[in-house]
Amino acid sequence: MIHLKDISFKYKKDLPYVLKNININILNKEKILIAGPNGAGKTTLSKILSGILPKIENGVLKGDYFFNNKNVNDLTCQEILKKTGILLQDFESQLVTTTVKEELIFYPLNKNISYTDALKSAQRLAENFKIENIFNRDTSELSGGEKQKVALLSLLTANPEIIILDEPFTDIDPKTREDIIDFLMQEFVDKVVLVFEQTLNYFEYFDRIIIINNGEIIFDGNKKDLFNCKKVENAGLELPFVKKYFNGVDAVDFIKNNYIFDEEKYLNLLKDTEKSNETVILIKGLFFKYQGINDCVLKNINFEIKKGDFIIVAGPNGSGKTTLMKIIAGIISNKQGEIKKSINDLKISYIYQNPDNQIFADTVFNEVSFILKTSNINTDIIKQKTEDILKLMGLFDKKDEDPFNLPKGDRQKIACASILIAEPDVIIMDEPTTGLDIPSLNSLMSIVEELNNKGKTVIIITHDMDVVSKYGNKILVMLNGEILYYGNKYGVFENDEILIKANIKRTDIMNLTYKINNKLLLNEKEFNICWRKK
């Protein structure tokens, strides 16, 4: 169906190739995961496959691309786009109508399907993915996760022969991610599905895995062969814990027979993780609704944030997480209720879910150093601090580039660096790990942890269960604009009712350890603390 022969691509004649000698044969009905680190060339490849490059966006393409035995050079862009459907990383740019309903009937109506049938199909999709409550809402009023979900479902209503999804789950909650993958595999059996991702978290769903690094294919094979490929780890990709260490064996029996559990160390993990008695922010009786919407987005929110807390905020898409944090940061006003701060000039900084909402400077260096330049700080110190954080974030070699010419993952790192460099009292980060590969995520979180260890208060909104499991001393779970849970993380992951209501999933290591002896461990570090080899 698709044949790429010796494909190389660069965006300008005087720039290096971002893809080099790519050779791929894709058969009808194949379901392929294409993974790789930041800057590997995944997005470029997705745009070539969809016909966007170089027919809509410019670039230099070498090699041959055959689509249904026809050379793409002999096809118009429209002919390719009729057969393919792509969800871009910038999914918001693909929302073309004003309401969710109109978005979900847009493609069917343009294919001359009757309005009645198009509406029935849209309502069925809305019911399957639990978005009936936003069916008539304006798309501009949706949360980031809701927008991504709607953009993806809208694309699927077009029923393309080849479905190309570039990081389609970044803003979507864990349970819905799995629901969408199941839906793709069951409802689009006769279609080609290509999912481009930064991780291997969902590799088991796919027939075939392709891994790209530095513009080249370093692995193309099945799940079994993946375990024996050293190049995978070298590319900064990791298999889930259980598959990585216990593939092919019964992990529960193996651990019971070969490891000893340390009860005392386990109990130490469960001890109170309160870092301070000093309250920095107190929220009492908080209600909020957006203009033009009858229902409250936030309802009777009451909780306190202590100095030095590291709080993870989780919950399904549209539960009010971003709205609550924007109110705390002072970005949104007109709320009902009280927010008391320990000091009037408490410095609260907010990193947006979409990095493009806060980036404005002409170079990476100017963007990251801007906040320091507004203070009375020596120029040499500004230069040194900026270069230091750019090196930590893997951005130093790109310091003179325009941020908007860089991949979304790099823009995410730039947005985070531009706030973290100022070391505010309270740091609120909305999905900061979106688009980051594992090495980049680890670099970012090491900076955040260092600031937290200095006494800074950190709040992170995330759907990334690996981040939830590894970081933070508390978790705030939201549902339908209310607080469902606030406390230590064990209280959430040992409670099936909360997990189901909040669309939160246990990681494989949580499921494994809970299954062994009902003593749930959150991550690999805790496993190594509590279980030792005999």
Provide the pLDDT for residue 130.
Answer: 87
What pLDDT is recorded for position 190?
96
By CB neighbour count within 10 A (0-12 exposed, 13-18 middle, 19+ buried), where does 447 fall?
middle
Q: Average pLDDT, stretch 47-68?
A: 93
Report pLDDT for 529.
Answer: 97
The identity of residue 230, as a single letter, is K
Over 80: is that where the pLDDT of 372 sits?
yes
Residue 44 lies in a domain: yes
How does pLDDT run across 428-441, given as a tens digit for each residue? 999 999 889 999 99
- The whole-number pLDDT of residue 82 equals 84
| Co-location of 41 and 172 in the same domain | yes
Name which of 8-12, 71-75, 499-503 the model is least confident about. 71-75
One domain, residues 71 and 220: yes
Instruction: Indicate whether 235 and 372 sit together in one domain.
Output: no
Last residue of a domain, one of 205, 239, 273: 239
- What the block records as the tokens of 416 is 């985070």
pLDDT (average), residues 192-196: 98
The answer to whether the beta carbons of residues 407 and 38 sit under 8 Å apart is yes
Single out the residue in 421, 455, 472 at which a domain terminates. 421
Within a domain: 319: no
pLDDT of residue 336: 92
* 487 within some domain: no
Q: For position 188, what pLDDT does the model report?
A: 94
Residue 407 has a pLDDT of 87
In the predicted structure, residue 165 carries a pLDDT above the cut 80:
yes
The predicted structure's pLDDT at residue 295? 87
The answer on 162 and 22 residing in a single domain is yes
Work out the average pLDDT over 22-30.
Answer: 97
Look at residue 78 in the predicted model and tell me its pLDDT. 81
Q: Does any domain span residue 37?
A: yes
- How far is Cα 269 from Cα 489, in angstroms, rounded to an integer? 11
Q: What's the rounded mean pLDDT across residues 187-197? A: 96
Q: Distance (Å, rounded) from C-alpha 424 to C-alpha 427?
A: 6
Q: What is the DSSP string of 132-176?
A: GGGTTSBGGGS-HHHHHHHHHHHHHHT--SEEEEESTTTTS-HHH
Instruction: Identify the band that residue 506 occupies on the pLDDT scale cut at 50, 70 and 90.
Output: very high
Confidence at residue 335, expressed as pLDDT on a 0 to 100 scale: 83
Domain termination site, one of 421, 439, 465: 421
42 found inside a domain: yes
Q: Tens of pLDDT along 64-79?
A: 999 989 998 888 888 8
Q: Specify the pLDDT at position 274.
A: 79
* pLDDT band per the 50, 70, 90 thresholds, residue 46: very high
- The number of CA neighbours under 13 Å toward the Cβ of 355 is 28
Range of the domain at 411: 361-421
Please report whether residue 80 resides in a domain: yes
**Secondary structure class of 395 (helix, strand, coil):** coil
Within a domain: residue 382? yes
219-237 pLDDT, tens digit each: 999 988 888 888 888 898 9
Q: Looking at the structure, tell me whether residues 16 and 146 fall in a common domain.
A: yes
**Is 80 exceeded by the pLDDT of residue 98?**
yes
| Contact predicate 180/129, CB 8 Å | yes
Query: Is residue 448 pLDDT above 80, yes or no?
Result: yes
Look over the chain and give the mean of its residue pLDDT values, rounded to a whole number.
Answer: 94
Number of domains in the chain: 2
Find the mean pLDDT for residues 40-60. Answer: 94
- pLDDT bin (cut points 50, 70, 90) of residue 393 is very high
User: What is the mean pLDDT of the segment spanning 421-448?
Assistant: 94
Assign residue 125 the CATH number of its domain. Answer: 3.40.50.300
Checking if the pLDDT of 212 tops 80, the result is yes
Report the percent of the chain where pLDDT is more than 70.
100
Q: Is residue 306 part of a domain?
A: no
Provide the sign of the torsion angle of the four alpha carbons 386, 388, 393, 397, taken in this order.
Answer: positive
Tens-digit pLDDT profile for residues 250-290: 999 999 999 999 999 999 999 877 788 999 999 999 999 99
